[in-house]
Chain A
Amino acid sequence: MFHIKLALRYLRGRKLRTTLTLIAIVFGVMIIVGFNAILPAISQAIQGNLSAMADEVDLTVSSETRGPFAMAVADQVRQVPGVAAVSPQLVRPMALPASQALVNKDGTAVTLLIVRGVDPATVTEVEQISLADGRLLTAADQNAILIANSLAQNTGLGVGDRLTLPAATGVMDFEIVGITSGRPLQGSEEVFIPLATAQTVFNFPGQINTIEARFAANSNADTVRAAVLAALGSGYKVGGTTTGSEFAAAMEAANYIYNMFGVIAIALGGFIIFITFRTVVVERRRDIGMLRAIGASRKTILGLILAEALILGVIGTAVGILLGYLMATGLLTGMQSLLEEFMRTSVGSPTLEPWVFGLAIGLGVGITLLAGLFPALAAMRVSPLEALRPSLAEVERRRAGRGAMVGAILIVVAFLTLLPGTVGLAALGILLLIVGLALVLPALIYPLARIFGRLLSIIFAREGQIAQGNLTRQPGRAAITASAITIGLSLLVAMGSLILSMQGGMMEWVNTTLGSDYLFMPPSLVLGGGNIGANEQMAADIAALPGVEQVTSLRLATSQIDGTDLQVIGIDPVTYPQIAGLIFSKGDEKTVYAALGNGRAIIVNGIFAAQNGVTVGDTLTLQTPNGAQTYQVVAVGGDFLNFKLATGYISQANLAQDFNETTDMLVMVDRAANADAAQVAAGLQQIAAGYPAFTFYSLAEWQTQMERTLAAFNGMYVLLIILAIPSLIALINTLAINVLERTREIGTLRAVGATRRQVRRMITAESLLLAATGTLFGLLTGLWLSYIMVGAMSMVGLILPFSFSYAGILLAIAVGLGFGILGALIPARQAAKLDIVRALAYE
């Protein structure tokens, strides 16, 4: 009770400092909570796409690759003892293009359907489909459809109404024959069509991807389940197919990076708290000594300081959680349009899962306590004799030698963390590097201050010399300030470099891999996300159009290698390189396409290569609907749309042969040199009208669209600012504390004849010296950090050339020194304004 009261009084006594310290914690917690509250909302939206069948039937079986397989597999399941009934199905998400979207009465659109192609004869044997209206599907039905009553109510559709859906053949017309009373799914709706029709719609003739089964009444479920899997052999799993899992994986990777930012921000906050509490202990040395003298035990003193840290941590975390939730709400609102476009799904409100609370509280309160612990331990060791000393004892008792040694070791270890190439370990390395630098800096301050001091003396002749002296006398204090700049600047350098790399690199990716004159884009840019492709007819029609020089397409299948998902894209080795191209990190562009057409060859993308340690010349065994097939890796490279996902590129011939896949998902068209653009475009648009699942773009339109999409990366600059603010605070805080600690010294300078201007210049010079030192290390750390972050990006699939422009380095130096001056403004004014008499009397 007393601890808390005294701590609160002290905190209230220094409102500005308390606020600045709080902000540091608030930012970190806000970032962690904010981004983690977004993720569940997005995954919930994605989960909404999942087929809901799983828990309503005794057993659901699908292929490991999520791909289609022969209907005969269903018969195998039926043979297993204990299985009473089996129903083959083809279940696919269907993204509805804007032109085909079902409009709800409230004006929103249903953009994604879960289409279940079921065998009317067997489906009722395995599951209960309850009807609200109309009838069930019959064996005679072709273009009949059952929709859920939620969809019916929202859109006003009823039995007898007609519904047009996109199909691989263009469009297909359905008659609503029944309304099911199934439970509603978030963001998407479940519809039933006859299996044979579904096979046409999705261009999987004779294939299914899901088998539902009902067990005999007296059988043991676990035994039968095991028996089914055993009968089917490898390549099959219990459970339905899922959609959107690729996007979820990408989101998780991105979230990982945001969490890393959050942890770094909190670490920075912890650093600020450390500085603050260190000062607090110095300032209160005599108070602490007195308390010890009049009978406070060491534990009491430890408790007093920790109570203060605890209060800061709790308040900061609480405010951070609140602001984080608000930030998540804001970001989700901002992301809504983007998500609808990419995912054909809508998201709800941010969700705070218990573990996020745990993480936020653990990090927010934990780091604050930890940062307060070391100063608190120092406070605990304050002798009661301090109360009796006539003046404040010199606090500088740094074991620079030992600290520097430990710091150097930490830095070496930090570099070693880069070797295994794991993002998590590298992130840990950053923390080690920061701590290491903070420890090494005191030993380096003297030589560095001399070097920079010489430069500075050109501008600040006399004050510079005094400033240099000040710094070298207090290497520990100077080091802390310098490391505040180092940390702040390194984050800025890293982030800035990352954003530049991304914006520069991405557009290049877009132009190379999707740079055809015309594009037929699927509704969802994530290829797996429920797109309805087109059968070969569309590409043939396009090729026949006068003025079209070349057509190529991307086809899609899913596979697995040793249990790891792999998205397989089929390209035409001849036409594809003529129109677009992959970006290669390994392999010769001139020969790989030819190699692709030769036997079973595969190009894998960066994320897959990195995750699985695969390189050119390796052989991969791909699970296919037709058994395991061995492919040889001929190159490492990828395209823009699939950088986030583990992807392999094979010839379309192989895709058809091994994966039964001939549907075009994306079509690129080049115009003949002498053709009339308007005429060609008009012809293409006409074809596009027949396939509403595709959106037609000219190159110019496409680029505009992409620039708009890439502008989303501008959001990263917000992150940059979010991170820059606390580091500026840290800098001002340390400089202000610096002035505070030296009040008497400054008073003496003023008394012996230094003008206000000279004091101001001295503090500014000091600040510049520190800033220069901090900037140097900030650059080094920042480049390191951006290297890791670019590395992290490549691990989520976006291979960017790691580069940093000289202009950027100059900019960083300018920012670092600018921070130095900016950070010095307030303290310098404060120092210059000091009343001499009061400063001299200052204890």
Chain B
Amino acid sequence: MSVRNAILGLLAHRPRHGYELHDAFEAMVGGEQNWDIKPAQVYSTLNRLEQSGLVVEDGVAQDGGPEKRIYMVTDAGLAELRQWFNEPSLSDRRRDEFFLKLMLSLVVADGDPRRLIYTQRAGLYRELHALTAQRSQVNPASQLAYILLLDQAIMHLEADLRWLEMVEARLDEISRQPIPEPAERPRGRPPMDGNR
């Protein structure tokens, strides 16, 4: 959805052909190390958008090479874009893989939750190290957009690390508590079914 709407937005900025869109996207996010999309993904998305009537072809550019189809946004496309702007962008952080690892490490026989935490922490710090390194290479005078993007990632990492710290501090407590079990349902199912 994000890439689709981003292409819509880039065309609303000004009409472009497919490869231009790919480059514009990458430039906006600060290069492929931040958000890598393939040109094929751009073309297939354009096709879907054209089928939905959100973009139309606006002519062909011919500058020596193969011909390039230039697209522009339609009124419906603008309405769709406006709709996107009007919705908050929420990420669902509750579906967390590490959480599952942690919970299961508490009950699996040779699980070591503390090791797990340290491994996760080391991983997060490595990411943070890389991001801070990258951030210090960026010129704040002309590339503020990248800095904001990197800061968002850095701050999430910081939050993750802080949460890990908290988990570590309360690890003994949580390991004393039984892992959550499904609620008993006395009617409708035989007791044997609940015994997984």
**Touching chains A and B, CB distance < 8 Å:** no
- The interface of chain B, by Cβ under 8 A from chain A, is none
Listed in ascending order, the chain A residues whose CB lies under 8 Å from chain B are none
